[in-house]
């Protein structure tokens, strides 16, 4: 969905490096999410934010941190990358104010991260 953008789209890094993945949205949604996707494991929630001052841990937050710089921006950081963080990372947004489609997720194109 072009309304949700992620940078970079691909990244190869080394163990121990600090990495930041960025997400921007023009949908005007207040909720933003970070997921990782691994083969056979589906999408797992890392962190989510319901507004600029609200940050919550998801299912697998260890080793990650986030920052909600503005309503439209939500970044994910790996403070010291390790090989098992190699995965496809997705940012998503949802609109809490829509009664017809509660928590319907709008995903970005993904970032493929490889940690060597």
Partner 1 sequence: SQKIEQNSEALNIQEGKTATLTCNYTNYSPAYLQWYRQDPGRGPVFLLLIRENEKEKRKERLKVTFDTTLKQSLFHITASQPADSATYLCALSSASKIIFGSGTRLSIRP
Q: Are 91 and 29 in contact (CB under 8 A)?
A: no
CA angle, 100 then 51 then 85, to 5°: 100
Residue 3: CB minimum distance to partner 1, A: 11
Nearest approach, Cβ of 21 to partner 1 (angstroms)?
14
Enumerate binding residues for partner 1 (CB under 8 A).
1, 4, 35, 40-45, 50, 90, 92, 101-110, 112
CB 101 within 8 A of CB 72: no
Nearer to partner 1, 16 or 28 (CB): 28
Query: CB-wise, 86 or 107, nearer to partner 1?
Result: 107
Give 85 or 93: the residue with its C-beta nearer to partner 1.
93
Residue closer to partner 1 (CB basis): 54 or 79: 54
Question: Parallel, antiparallel, or unpaired for β 31-38 and 73-78?
Answer: unpaired
Closest contact distance (angstroms) between CB of 2 and partner 1 is 11
């Amino acid at each position: 969905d072009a309304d949700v953008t992620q940078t970079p789209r691909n990244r190869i890094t080394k163990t121990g490096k600090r990495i930041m993945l960025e997400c921007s949205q023009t949908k005007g949604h207040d909720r933003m999410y970070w997921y990782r996707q691994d083969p056979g494991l589906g999408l797992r929630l890392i962190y989510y934010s319901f507004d600029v001052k609200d940050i919550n841990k998801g299912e697998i937050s260890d080793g990650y941190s986030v920052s909600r710089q503005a309503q439209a921006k939500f970044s994910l950081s790996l403070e010291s990358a390790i090989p098992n963080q190699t995965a496809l990372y997705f940012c998503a947004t949802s609109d809490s104010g829509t009664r017809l489609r509660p928590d319907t997720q709008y995903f970005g194109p993904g970032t493929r991260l490889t940690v060597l």
